Amino acid sequence: MRVLFLISDTGGGHRAGALAVEAAMKTILPSCVTSIRDALVDAAPWPVNRSPAIYNWGMKHARWVWGGSFHLMNGPRRARFMADVNWPLMKRRMVDLITTENPDVVVSVHPLLTRSVVRAIRATGRRIPFSIVVTDLVTGHATWYEKDADLVTVPTEEARARAIACGCDPARVLVTGQPLHPDAGRAVGDRDAARRAFGWNEPVVLCVGGGDGMGDLGGRVRALARAKIPARLVVVCGRNETLRRELTAETFAIPVDVHGFVGNLPEMMAAADVLVTKGGPGSIMEGCLAGLPILIYDYLPGQEFGNIGLVREAGIGDYVPSASALPEAVLRWLNDPAARAAVSTKARRLATPDSATRIARAVLTTVQNTR
């Protein structure tokens, strides 16, 4: 069994989702051979093949452009039109990529790799099943929802309704939960024991900026430290090396542990008491799995906007965009253990610990059904 995952590193969530499903798939079928390709870099024309760099620059300096373009093209017909305009420019390279990989199933974990991939598969002359793993919780872009996919897995009922509204066959849309790495579920356990494993002796506020360390994470950390909240701040800067160096060089009035990109974020979640995060779906759902109250300090316009409502409506946290207001919001949770315990139950109801396994089994079923 050869499985081809198509992603692009525009943000960290697409690769993380692919890695989660890949790990689950190899547990189910150890003999399978998997490949993860950044198809925008490998198959799209210039300047789209520079998407990761353009995306990172845009998120830091021109979010209003991203937000505007997101809404401008966010409709089923407009999404198909955009894909069809770009198709002649990427046809040869996309077909070559799929032909070279020679997969038994193709899995897209990126919204711009849906309609064009369906057309490329048809151009190979083979009947290769095609699955889409949606990683946006609520307000996903219409480009995610390709009606000719064999399977569309979505994280929430809201995302399923969106897929159907965009023309997907309800029988092919499956609610599986956000794709979380199997290790995330295994990491959840006794919070005090998890803290002892890290050598942390006090309450912990985990501050996360996503895989790329976006948003003014540094400003939030400094505000919490100035307020001298009675906790240890554990800061994960992701790939934002500049921020990691800046915070490491500073002296704070409370304990502050600064990290770059980490491979043990689920274990850190399991040891924390409060999560302060950008509104990315992966961080939010990992926080839910760990039963944490969630304070969102920033979000990407468009696909992450709905995540704020999801957290608020579930009663598991809030949106706190002001750095000056963040210490008070954190203290409310730290000073109320009973409220944290109640939120823990609510948050865990939103998470699906075996989500990646559900997705992997569904993908493999599409292969069986086409043989």
The reply to whether 136 and 189 lie within a common domain is no
CATH code where residue 324 lies: 3.40.50.2000
pLDDT for res 15: 94
pLDDT at 199 over 90: yes
Task: For residues 89 and 126, state if they share a domain.
Answer: yes
Number of domains comprising the chain:
2
Whether residues 193 and 224 fall in one domain: yes
Q: What is the pLDDT of residue 212?
A: 67
Same domain, yes or no: 342 and 237: yes
Q: Verify that 306 and 259 share a domain, yes or no.
A: yes
**pLDDT level of residue 183 (50, 70, 90 thresholds):** confident
Question: What would the mean pLDDT of 337-343 be, rounded to a whole number?
Answer: 94
Average of pLDDT values for 169-197?
A: 91
Give mean pLDDT, residues 86-99: 95
**H or E segment at 153?**
strand 151-154
- Asked if 234 and 297 sit in the same domain, the reply is yes
Same domain, 103 and 24: yes
- Please give the single-letter amino acid code of residue 223: A
* pLDDT surpassing 90 at residue 207: yes
Q: How confident is the model at residue 97 (pLDDT cuts 50, 70, 90)?
A: very high
215 and 106, same structural domain? no
Residue 63: per-residue pLDDT: 81
Residues 187, 53: one domain? no
pLDDT value for 228: 97
Same-domain pairing of 191 and 169: no
Query: What is the pLDDT at residue 45?
Result: 84
For residues 196 and 259, membership in a common domain is answered with: yes
Contacts of 162 (CB under 8 A, 6+ apart): 138, 139, 140, 145, 154
**Shared-domain flag, residues 75 and 195:** no
pTM of the complete model = 0.94
239 burial level (CB within 10 Å; 0-12, 13-18, 19+)? middle
Q: Which structural domain, as residue segments, surrounds residue 20?
A: 2-180+353-369
Which helix H or strand E contains 22, and what residues bound it? helix 13-28
Tens of pLDDT, residue by residue over 102-143, are 999 999 999 999 999 999 999 999 999 999 999 999 999 999
Q: Which residues contact 361 (CB under 8 A, 6 or more apart)?
A: 28
